[in-house]
Structure 1
Amino acid sequence: MGNIWRFPFVTGEGGGAAFLFVYLLFIALVGFPAILAEFVVGRKTKRNPVGALKEYGGGIWTYVGGIFIVTGFVILSYYSVVAGWFIRYTLEGFRGSYAARIAAYEGDPEIMFGALSTGLDAFVLHTVFMALTVGIVALGIRQGIELAVKVMVPAIILLLLGLAVWAFTLPGSGGGYAYYLSPDFGAITENWAELLPAAAGQAFFTLSLGMGVMITYASYLGEDRNLASDGTAIIGFDTGIAFLTGLVVFPIMWAGDMTDPGEGGAGEIFVALTQAFAEVTGGQFLGLLFFATVSLAALSSAISLLEVVTSYVIDEKGIERWQAAVGMGGVIYLLGVPVTYDLIFLDLLDLFADAILLVFGALMLTILVGWIAPKAAIDELEKGIGPLDGLGQAWIWAIRVPILIVLVISLYLGVVDYVEFLTGPFAEWIDANL
């Protein structure tokens, strides 16, 4: 969902190609070294994020591991609400063609999203989705969801490829390609202070960095695994799906005279693709398949986020699995409830996690790996690869200096953005509603 839901509207808010250029640079130059840092800590310690950082660094680093837990906690709270939107759009497909459903909302997909994204229905679906997530984690059931996702996630890619080909044939789509693929380097130079934290946040969000997921997953890996190869595969597929999503959304928006990307915010993908499914032959079936598939993929990701929190409580507090899953899941659910009332709370939580928590967690981990215990990191990375010679030191020095500087700048700019949000849009909302 980080690619299919979040990437289009963040790219739109960042100016299209300008954001894409900075984002791709950030993925290659920062994302790859950062994912290796999480891998080595997770595989070496074979523990949850708090236990892993306690064993790897000791002392105060235990509390840094706690930040990873908090980050996943915050993200899952609103992630569940967004997943509920995908379920709702699946259900809308069962009620009739997407053209007919849009017609029921004054013929405007933006009005349709506004009506469906908040209110009682959004609250109920948030409840249902979190209950499913908690139930699966509490029971420890993996095989069913794993087998389903192995089939359904490739289906998402095939659907996106088909939609991208169809979008290419639409009259007026050329403006969308220009917006998405032709960067204005002058705009990048002028707006770097906004683009950098947005790119950093999206990169860490979509790669599941800074929230403990990759540390937890790496803890299950054998020492024969090539971590560099695994990291390359993850980043390659992940970024490819994000890029492909842009090739679908922006041409469709331009073809439908929706030439203000970013204005639609969190609803961008729903507005653009609902319009597409309303026009394409077989759109009702394609829409049902697409939204249902993303809902299932969202469930698999939600399970991983709750598993990180649950495994911490089980390992560190000695609580039974079902009690940990229900207790933590319940608190996460309550934190997400305000998002079903007004999307200002989605911005409040998402910006906090995206611009501050994720980047701060990644910053602390690079300090730990690059400055506190670099030799242990190189030794762990060499398992499954062989002697790295100078490449290991090059990786460490990349983490120590340039990446550290970029993360510090990104964190500072993210804090500035969040303060501006709190004193601007959020303060205005409070004045108007309380």
Structure 2
Amino acid sequence: MSSVDVPREQWATRIGFIFAAVGSAVGLGNIWRFPFQVGQEGGAAFLLIYLLFILLIGFPAMLVEFVVGRYTERNPVGALQAIGSGLWQYVGWIFIVTTFVILSYYSVVAGWTIRYTLLGLQDGYLADASEAEVQFVDLATGLDAIAFHALFMAIVVVIVAYGIQHGIELAVKVMVPAIIIITVGMAIYAFTLEGASEAYAYYLSPEWGTITAEWTSILPAAAGQAFFTLSLGMGVMITYASYLGEDRNLAEDGAIIIGFDTTIAFITGLIVFPILFTAGVDPADPGAGAIFVSLAAAFGDLTLGWLIGALFFGTVAVAALSSAISLLEVVISYLIDERDISRRTATFGVGVALFLLGIPSASDLVLLDLFDLFADQVLLVLGGLLLMILIGWSLPDLAVEELELGIGDLDSLGSAWIWAVRIPVVLVLFVALALGVLDYYEFLTVDFADWLGDQ
């Protein structure tokens, strides 16, 4: 039984919860971040490690967040206060801070997707890469970027303000099927392009030397990507599971969610890389804006590229929206549960605060990287690591008992899950955190220091 008896909103249907969780996972992490991470980290070598992390790390970690959320029926802060003691009760704040930081710049990037959708429908895309880069800098920073950041955040606020059933659940039941249908259709189109075979070789045939030579870079990037794309380490799955009943099979739901999310990410690679290779664009161009520059240039070089580009960026915008509403719900659930603030007041206030925090990211790409790397490689992994240690080593019996609700006696499977959390999950997250901190320190002392010197 739940440890808390406070009446609470719940999902109207099982498919509503699954679509909401899939929508949270299938967002910019899949369609914006995933392709440029694959490109930066060596193509298929990164893909292989990422898929292993999804299976061996992501699934057990997702179940941990599910059981914590459903057992406590609380937001991350309230949940950790309910089951933790001493310093452990403050771990929930890491999730709140992580979500807040991510959504502040996530909204900026999502604004780019809206702008690039309109760009395709209005003027088309520039085929010359250098011109496309200049165009991106103009559109991704300054008043234009701030305006679309505000537009996107306003849409998110309206949806979340209407609550779980009438806002989030209703929206994702439309958005998620649309994302799936369009991405599959675009993958079929990409298969017909002349650069498809070369792209598939790059994307699907790992070079083992790349893994051994670049593992210190690939490991934290893959771990961060796995957590980012599954919405782990943010408190999203804790919050969404807090609206679940005890009759739900968490393992089955988790497997479905991860299956959809990973499939969409994989299909995105089947779309993006054939387009890039057909247009002769290097997929290894680094940076958060690379996918916009590279893809826009590629679309500008394709027949009907304006239409394909508008369709692609429009799909990314919808996916970003489905994720952003879940991120905002984490913070809103805290204010409702712990501060007794009405949903609409909390949503409007937090939306304004997030818009203001996002202005620096909309003003300079280096500042966006500053927030992105800190959230992705440090905060996400730190929160996840601490939660895994708490559940795996201090509260294993509670976790197994909660997971068994809606499933039945797990016997040895419950023990296997706990030991997976205790050893491989904790170990990989610890190593990824250490390497991520070093990577972020290097960014601060090189890229960010150079930026400060130029100011």
TM-score normalised by the shorter chain: which range applies? over 0.9
Could you tell me how far apart the structure 2 residues matched to 1:150 and 1:281 are? 33
The equivalent of 2:85 in structure 1 is: 58
Q: Which residue of 1 aligns with 2:246?
A: 223
Superposed displacement of residue 307, structure 1: 1.5
Structure 2 counterparts to residues 47-196 of structure 1, below 5 A: 47-96=74-123, 98=124, 101-102=125-126, 108-140=131-163, 143=166, 146-196=169-219
Q: Partners of 1:72 and 1:378 in 2: how far apart?
A: 27
Over 6 Å off, 4+ runs? none
Q: Distance in 2 between matches of 1:300 and 1:337?
A: 22
Q: Is 1:291 aligned to 2:313, yes or no?
A: yes
Residue 433 of structure 2 corresponds to residue 406 of structure 1: no
Change in Cα spacing, 1:213 to 1:284, as seen in structure 2 (3 Å) is same
Q: Deviations over 1:289-332 (max 9, x none)?
A: 44334323322321221111121122212233333223322222
Gaps in structure 1 of 5+ consecutive residues: none
Could you tell me how far 1:352 is from its partner in structure 2? Answer: 0.4
C-alpha contact 1:32 1:232 (8 A) present in aligned 2: yes
TM-score between both structures, scaled by the size of structure 1? 0.93
Equivalent residue for 1:42? 69
Aligned counterpart, 1:18: 45
313-322 vs 348-357, which moves further = 313-322
What is the percent sequence identity of the aligned residues? 63
The Cα shift of 1:186 comes to 1.7
> Counterpart amino acid of 1:72?
T
Aligned to 2:337: 315
- Change in Cα spacing, 1:340 to 1:34, as seen in structure 2 (3 Å) is same
CA contact (8 A) 1:84 1:125 kept: yes
Provide the secondary structure at the position in 1 that maps to 2:52.
helix
Q: How far 1:405 sits from its partner (Å)?
A: 1.2
Alignment of 1:329-348 (within 5 A): 329-348=351-370
> Who is 2:9 aligned against?
none
Following superposition, the deviation at residue 403 of structure 1 comes to 1.6
Residue in 1 that maps onto 2:271: 248
Are the counterparts in 1 of residues 389 and 422 from structure 2 also a CA contact under 8 Å?
A: yes
Instruction: Specify which of 227, 242, 259 is matched with residue 236 of structure 1.
Output: 259
RMSD: 2.1
Total equivalences in the alignment: 428
Q: Distance in 2 between matches of 1:328 and 1:44?
A: 26
Query: Residues 57 and 373 of structure 1 are in contact (CA less than 8 Å); yes or no, is this contact kept in structure 2?
Result: no
Unaligned runs of 5+ in 2: 1-27
Q: What's the counterpart of residue 201 of structure 1? A: 224
- For 2:45 and 2:301, the matched residues in 1 are separated by 30
Contact persistence 1:57–1:372 (CA under 8 A): no
Is the 8 Å Cα contact of residues 20 and 180 (structure 1) preserved in structure 2? yes
Which one of the candidate residues 388, 403, 422 is aligned to 1:381? 403
Contact 2:160 2:325 in 1 (8 A): yes
CA–CA separation in structure 2 for the residues paired with 1:93 and 1:179: 28
CA, structure 1 residues 427+406, in 2 after alignment: closer, same or farther (shift >3 Å)? same
Matched residues in 2 for 1:186 and 1:393: separation?
36
Q: What's the counterpart of residue 16 of structure 2?
A: none
Contact 1:46 1:219 in 2 (8 A): yes
Q: Residue 326 of structure 2 corresponds to which residue in structure 1?
A: 304
Q: Indicate which of 342, 348, 358 corresponds to 1:326.
A: 348
User: Structure 1 residues 95 and 275, CA, compared in 2 at 3 Å: closer, same or farther?
Assistant: same
8 Å CA contact 1:152, 1:293 repeated in 2: no
Cα distance in 1 for partners of 2:452, 2:390 equals: 40
Higher mean C-alpha deviation, range 45-54 or range 161-170: 161-170
User: Matches of 2:395 and 2:262 in 1, distance apart?
Assistant: 30
CA drift of 1:219 comes to 0.8
Residue by residue over 1:331-362, the C-alpha shift from the partner in whole angstroms, topping out at 9 and shown as x without a partner, is 22222111111111111011101001110111
- Counterparts of 1:411-430 in structure 2 under 5 Å? 411-430=433-452
